Structure 1
C-alpha cells in the first residue's frame, strides 16, 4: 500500500478516458502536474507524490480500481470528463466498488462549467474565428441522454458567450456528425465555418475535426489555469465533505 504523504488529506485520483495519442497522454500528465502544484501535492524530492494519481477508464491503465487499491487512506476521485455519460455514471462507480476502498468521494464531472466556456471561446478566437463566422460545437458524443443534455447546456453557454448561434455536432457517437454540419452551414450560405472543440485533449477524435472541412479548428480545452482551478476546487469541496463524514 502507498501511504498518504500528508496524513489526513485524501489522495486525489484524476480519472480520464484514455487515448493512444502521445500528445493526449502528455496533456493529461501535464494537467495532473498542474493540479498537484495548485494543491501543493505535486512532485516531492523522492518521486511522484502519492497524494495525486491518474487513472483511465479505457485504452490505458492503470484503472481507477487499481489506483484505489494501491492507496492507504481516503481518496477523492475527480472524473476529468466534459459531460456525464456512461463513464461517469457507470464505469467510475463500478471501479470504486471493485476497489473495495470505503473512504472514497466522487466529484461531479468537469463540465459543463462557465470556466470551460470561457476557455473554448478563447481557443476559438485563437483559431481565427471572428464575429459573423459560423460555429460548430464538436463533442465526442454519447448514447447516454444525460450526457447529450450536458452537451446542449455547454453549447448554449458558448452561444451566449460568443453572442452567436452555435450548431451541435458529434465526432463519434450520435448525430449529426461534424462534417455533415459543416457542409450544411456552407450550403446555407456561411462563408467561414469554425469548429469549437469540446474535447479535453488531443487524440483521434480531435484529429477527425481537422478533416471535417472547416476553415479553422480550435484547440482542445487542454491545460489552462481555469481548468486546473476547477479540478482543484472539485477536490477541495469533496475532501471537506469526506472529512465531515468521517468525523460523524
Structure 2
C-alpha cells in the first residue's frame, strides 16, 4: 500500500530495465502553463518534444473527452496532430504505454486517429496501455512476478440493472407493487450511491452486453464465467471465486 500511495520515482535506467521491452514505446506527457512536453522512451533511447501550452491542449481535448457514439474518428485529428504526430516516426507497430497528465488522463487515446490515417483509430495498429504513472506499472510487476497462473481464463460482469424503470425489472416482476420493488437490493444500492430525488440516475450501458458477449465467445465455456443482468451484482463482484480467473472484466 505504501509503495502504491507514495511510489518512488524511477530513473530512466530503471524504466528501461524494469518496464520497457523491445516492443513497447513509452509516451509520457507533462502539461505546463507556458509549454508542455512529450517524452518518448524505448528500451535504449529517449526523445523529448515541446508541445503547446496546457490551456491550448485543454481547449482542443475537451470535446474529445466528451465524445459519444456520434463522434467520428476524424474529429480527433486536431488533438492527434498535437499528441501523436511529433512521435509518428517512432510508433511502428509497437505497444504504446501512455502516461497522461491533467485532462490527458481522461482522453481515450485508443480512439484517436493515426495522424497519417485520419479515419483509422490508434487501436487498429497498436496495443494501448494507459497508466497513472510508470512507478505503478513497476510495482504491479513486482507484486505479480511470482504469482501462480490460475486455471480459468476470464470472468465477465456486464450490463447490470441500474434502475427500477429498467424493462428487465418490470418484465420479471409485473405483479409486484412499488413498495415491494422499493425493497429490492437494487434500490438499496442506488441509495448507497447517493442517488435520490434530483440526483443523477444511471442509465443502461447499451453496448456493454455486446462487448461482453464478444469476449465470452473467444473462450471455451468451461474457462469462463458469465454474469449479466441481475447476476452482474455487487455480491458477484466481491465473490472470492473470481480469484480462479486470470482476467476479470
Same fold, judged at TM 0.5 (above): no
Greater Rg by CA: 2
TM-score by length of 2: 0.27
Instruction: State the structure with bigger RCO (CA 8 A, min sep 6), 1 or 2.
Output: 1
